[in-house]
Amino acid sequence: MSELTFPPALWLILGGLLLPLLARRWRLPLVILLPALTLATVWLLPGGISLEIDFLDYRLAPVDSTPAGRLFATIFALMALAGGVYAKDQARDLELCAAYIYAGSAIGVTFSGDLITLFVFWELMALASTVVIWAAGSESAYRASMRYLLIHLLGGVLLMAGIAGYVADTGSLSFVAMRPDSLATGLILAGFLINAGAPPLSAWIADAYPEASPSGMVFLSAFTTKTAVFALLVGFPGSEILIYIGLYMVFYGIIYALLENDMRRILAYSIVNQVGFMVTAIGIGSELALNGAAAHAFAHIIYKALLLMSAGSVLLMTGKRKCTDLGGLFQSMPVTAINGIIGALAISAFPFTSGFVTKSLETSAAADEGMVLVWLLLLAASAGVFLHAGIKFPWFVFFQKDSGLRPDEPPRSMRVAMWSFSALCILIGLFPQTFYKILPYPVAYQPYTMEHLVTQFQLLLFAGFAFFVLLKQMRRTLTISLDFDWLYRRFFHSLVREFTIGTSARRDRAEVRVRSRIRRFIEQLYTHHGPQGVLARTWPTGSMVFWVAIILALSALFYNL
């Protein structure tokens, strides 16, 4: 294996294992060096398969460099760098170790040229991300991590079953474009969609991610759902069913985010909403749409991480996460507020930000393919995004009423991470053509047209006007939004109790009844056959002879008759 065929994923995975063993003063250099080495390796690798391994009767391709894979690996490495800087002063060693293994595994997926390699990194991601949640150290985090792990183990089982069936059907392990027209490919698709947060299991994101530490949720927002987007983009481009699944995710995320009171659950539901845009674009399947999905995933990782860094800073400095407990924080946390607002503008596709030049690829693709209804729904959803993430989050956290809280700004490393991602949000928005050059397919698209600018400003102004007109309805109270996870958190839990505790109680009662009947039977036997029983008495010999004679006489009588 030559120098340039070293798998990029191994830098972060092996380095993550090394992090807890080093003195704390070496944490920052390693946190910066590992993603930098990974990023350099990603771009030094030649295109195509550069490493193959024999496995049984197959050849695995753990290093297969493609334009899409390189794009996703790039943003994953940048996310590991910014996330590591953000987390270095307040994350536990266990969390940072797991987070870097998690990031490395995600990069391993993007360079997988075969389904076995993909599955190995896919499952390693599930385990590492579970530890990231668990590392928060609270009881709620532990419970959420267990539910999270069960969901992803289910996805892994479906994926492995699909891979086995696909190999049996085709005799190939290559990770290439498929159609969901067989049981095997349907199972593979289902495994990918579970990680993407698709229905009916979308709620795992809002259930698990907000229970992680402030830095843990930043890492979690970037990798699992985006590797699923990458897998769908490579494995199922143009599958029409993804259009409907994606549109469901888009509006599901908006509705639940508008209902939420917890700022981190608002942003968690927003992840589902944003991934819905990408899944819809993959379903459309044109080169422009696939470029849009890839570009949106790249930009989303940056501005979603920025929003979560802002929310995490508030949580770290105040200990509060509900909108009803917050407000007026711009007075003492202006840096956090400014960065949160930049992230909010980017996710809302405000002109001159990254969201504007990436989301428009997806909506334009729908229009170019003549999908008028899909185009209108995506435009409406863009207004909904501005409502819940663009206005609701910064307004209720940093403005609205004065909560009386006057926390300090977070540590410098956290501010540096936020400023760096704010700069990326603006730079991509200002120089889109430079960014378009690294997309999977050639791009001939100009986002800054008068028509596009006017349309987007109209949407944003309308959504902003609607928010403040309906401000009383937008204010949240101390309520809980029931989601599909209620079924396995409460309903299925009740069923389990019924079939375990309830069944055990009934078994105990039945056992008591059986024991009572056996005891009575033994007592009756003792009464008749015990030392004082009728059948256990001593009979005189003469009496016995008399009765034997009678029996013989009766036998002779019946015989003669």
Same domain, 306 and 439: yes
DSSP tag of 314: H
For the chain, the domain total comes to 3
Higher pLDDT, 489 or 143: 143
Same domain, 226 and 241: no
Q: Is residue 191 part of a domain?
A: no
Comparing C-alpha atoms, which of 261, 301, 272 is closest to residue 73?
301
Comparing C-alpha atoms, which of 327, 302, 331 is closest to residue 419?
302
| Beta-sheet pairing, 48-55 with 58-65 | antiparallel
pLDDT exceeds 50 at position 32:
yes
Q: What is the pLDDT of residues 336-378, one digit of tens each?
A: 999 999 999 999 999 999 999 999 999 999 999 999 999 999 9
Q: What pLDDT band is residue 160 in, cutting at 50, 70 and 90?
A: very high
pLDDT exceeds 90 at position 461:
no
Same domain, 241 and 229: no
Quick one: what percent of the chain has pLDDT higher than 90?
60
Phi and psi for 264 in degrees, rounded to 5?
-80, -30
- 3-state SS assignment for residue 150: helix
Highest mean pLDDT of the ranges 320-334, 420-434, 509-523: 420-434
pLDDT exceeds 80 at position 508:
no
Q: Is residue 189 part of a domain?
A: no
Q: Is residue 163 part of a domain?
A: no
pLDDT reported for residue 268: 93
- Domain of residue 465: give its range: 237-480
pLDDT exceeds 60 at position 496:
no
Q: What pLDDT band is residue 283 in, cutting at 50, 70 and 90?
A: very high
Same domain, 261 and 389: yes
Same domain, 475 and 555: no
- CA 239 to chain CA centroid, Å, is 22
Q: What is the pLDDT of residues 90-137, one digit of tens each?
A: 888 899 999 999 999 999 999 999 999 999 999 999 999 999 999 998
Specify the length of the chain in residues: 561
pLDDT exceeds 70 at position 191:
yes
pLDDT exceeds 90 at position 429:
yes
Q: Is residue 181 part of a domain?
A: no
Q: Is residue 425 part of a domain?
A: yes
- 3-state SS assignment for residue 81: helix
Comparing C-alpha atoms, which of 213, 232, 271 is closest to residue 109?
232
Same domain, 355 and 244: yes
* Residue 5 C-beta-side C-alpha neighbours within 13 Å: 11
Same domain, 223 and 247: no
pLDDT reported for residue 530: 65
Same domain, 510 and 413: no
pLDDT reported for residue 479: 63
Same domain, 216 and 242: no
Q: Is residue 438 part of a domain?
A: yes
Same domain, 211 and 278: no
pLDDT reported for residue 528: 65
| 200 preceded by a cis bond (ω within 30 of 0) | yes
Same domain, 244 and 218: no
C-alpha–C-alpha distance, residues 227 and 210, integer Å: 20
C-alpha–C-alpha distance, residues 439 and 74, integer Å: 11
Same domain, 402 and 274: yes
- CA 53 to chain CA centroid, Å, is 30
